[in-house]
């Protein structure tokens, strides 16, 4: 039996909700800064770990490590998702940022290939695996936390701040890159300046680790914890409980496929694409990326709020249709222009299209699962899909470029979006059947025991 949360729980003040969202979001921002610092500074440290005269080959090496880091995300989604469902969202968020601090510090202090040989790329790989484990758990737990603490009727708006801070982390990485480009020479950046980004990330993650210890736990988790001492208490965060929702798992995979490939194409790979293919100067590319992502970050809460009014499916359909039809023209034009303004507008167009997915993907997935398996349900199938498709997007693009068939990648991205469009066209409107608005009644024997 289920009842509406609002019928049995006292309302939480809007001020309290905002405070919880802000505290959760700050940590998310630092986590994603650490993750994207790798992508932002790849062009500077690639040859430090993969010595070669061929720039594309060096990028391919770092792209491979970037992709391998994604392979840990499913493990992180499972481990930290299970941890969050059993022991709380707050504890899992503290653990994830601790792992991220460790990975960033490792990258910051690892010597170059010239100093320690093959050990350098191996240590880089290990650090990236630790970061992948962290991000896999961070996504599932933060998506769950922000969705659960949000005010009913405003969940699309509040949960959209996950991607505001995700973009914000990338903006911080790019902003620091712009600053370092202004005060250091190209040679200094390539030699040692790039390490500053990872030192900053490690220190910021330690600060967030302390701040997160003071966060409020979500009321949904506390309620389930209080009522979940009956026969199904052992199912919290388990794969055994998750596989009872095969349709929801398939929906998460289908929802994510096109979105993750498009996101990593426009938000990360485009930096190398504009530099290597279009021939736009590196510093100009950084500024283009920074401005486009800033606008995209601002758009997230507006799109999230719109989904609270018209539903989640219309935004997903917008992304699916526009992404399928316009990805190839946008990427083709971007690769053939040397005009910074046009390149910015094209990149922004891609990110506006992706906003139909990014702004609401967390809340849509959270609305599919009950509280006891919400973190693992959101995190594991999502992380598997991102690892297979999102994490390999740049690797596939670089490989196709090296083989002389770069344009094939544009059609690959559009095809992935088309698959997701089919899912969007057949799925239900999750805001009308949200598991977030349901609460599990206490077990009958527990109620009888209390009454006796």
Distance CA(452)–CA(447), nearest Å, equals 9
Provide the pLDDT for residue 276: 85
pTM exceeding 0.75 = yes
User: What phi, psi does 42 have (nearest 5°)?
Assistant: -55, -40
Asked whether 73 and 136 are in contact (CB, 8 A), the reply is yes
Sequence ranges of the domains in the chain: 14-221+236-438
Asked whether 384 and 148 are in contact (CB, 8 A), the reply is no
Please provide the size of the chain in residues: 452
Provide the pLDDT for residue 53: 63
pLDDT digits (tens, 9 = 90+) for 348-403: 999 999 999 999 988 898 888 887 888 888 888 888 898 889 878 888 998 898 88
Tokens at 113, concatenated: 């290939």
Which is nearest to 260 in space by CA: 395, 417, 451, 31? 417
Tokens at 342, concatenated: 């046009």
Q: Enumerate residue ranges in the chain where pLDDT < 50.
A: 1-10, 230-231, 440-452
Can you state the angle between helices 89-109 and 195-212, rounded to 10 degrees?
Answer: 160
CATH 1.20.1250.20 for domain 14-221+236-438:
yes
Which is nearest to 301 in space by CA: 171, 170, 165? 165
Tokens at 282, concatenated: 């590196």
Q: Which helix (H) or strand (E) holds 245?
A: none
Q: How many other C-beta atoms can be found within 10 angstroms of the C-beta atom of residue 374?
A: 32
Which is nearest to 102 in space by CA: 211, 25, 198? 198
User: What phi, psi does 3 have (nearest 5°)?
Assistant: -135, 160
Provide the pLDDT for residue 226: 64
């Amino acid at each position: 039996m289920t009842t509406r949360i609002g019928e049995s729980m006292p309302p939480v003040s809007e001020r309290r909700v905002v405070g919880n969202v802000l505290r959760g979001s700050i940590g998310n921002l630092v986590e994603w800064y650490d993750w994207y610092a790798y992508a932002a500074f790849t062009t500077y440290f690639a040859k430090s770990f993969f010595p070669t005269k061929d720039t594309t080959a060096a990028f391919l090496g770092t792209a491979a490590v970037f992709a391998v880091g994604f392979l840990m995300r499913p493990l992180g989604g499972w481990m930290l998702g299970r941890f969050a469902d059993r022991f709380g969202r707050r504890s899992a968020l503290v653990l994830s940022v601790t792992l991220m601090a460790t990975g960033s510090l490792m990258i910051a202090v690892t010597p170059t290939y010239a100093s320690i040989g093959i050990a350098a790329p191996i240590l880089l790989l290990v650090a990236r695996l630790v970061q992948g484990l962290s991000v896999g758990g961070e996504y599932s737990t933060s998506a769950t936390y922000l969705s659960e603490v949000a005010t009913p009727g405003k969940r699309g708006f509040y949960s959209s701040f996950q991607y505001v801070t995700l973009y914000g982390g990338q903006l911080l990485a790019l902003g620091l890159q712009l600053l370092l480009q202004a005060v250091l020479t190209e040679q200094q950046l390539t030699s040692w300046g790039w390490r500053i980004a990872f030192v900053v990330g490690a220190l910021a993650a330690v600060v967030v680790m302390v701040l997160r210890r003071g966060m409020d736990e979500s009321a949904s988790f506390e309620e389930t914890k209080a009522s979940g001492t009956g026969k199904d208490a052992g199912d919290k965060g388990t794969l055994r409980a998750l596989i009872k929702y095969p349709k929801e798992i398939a929906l998460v995979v289908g929802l994510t496929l096109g979105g993750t490939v498009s996101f990593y194409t426009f938000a990360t790979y485009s930096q190398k694409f504009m530099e290597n293919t279009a021939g736009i100067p590196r510093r100009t590319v950084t500024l283009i990326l920074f401005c486009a992502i800033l606008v995209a970050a601002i758009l997230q809460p507006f799109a999230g709020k719109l989904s609270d009014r018209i539903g989640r499916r219309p935004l997903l359909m917008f992304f699916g249709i526009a992404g399928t039809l316009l990805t190839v023209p946008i990427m083709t034009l971007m690769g053939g222009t040397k005009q910074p303004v046009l390149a910015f507008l094209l990149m922004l167009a891609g990110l506006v299209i992706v906003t139909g997915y990014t702004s609401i993907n967390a809340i849509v997935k959270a609305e599919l699962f009950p509280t006891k398996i919400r973190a693992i349900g959101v995190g594991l199938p999502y992380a598997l899909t991102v690892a297979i498709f999102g994490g390999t997007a740049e690797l596939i693009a670089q490989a196709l470029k090296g083989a002389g068939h770069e344009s094939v990648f544009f059609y690959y991205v559009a095809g992935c979006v088309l698959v997701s469009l089919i899912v969007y066209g057949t799925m239900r409107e999750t805001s009308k059947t949200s598991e977030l608005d349901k609460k599990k009644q206490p077990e009958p024997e527990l109620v009888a025991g209390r009454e006796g």
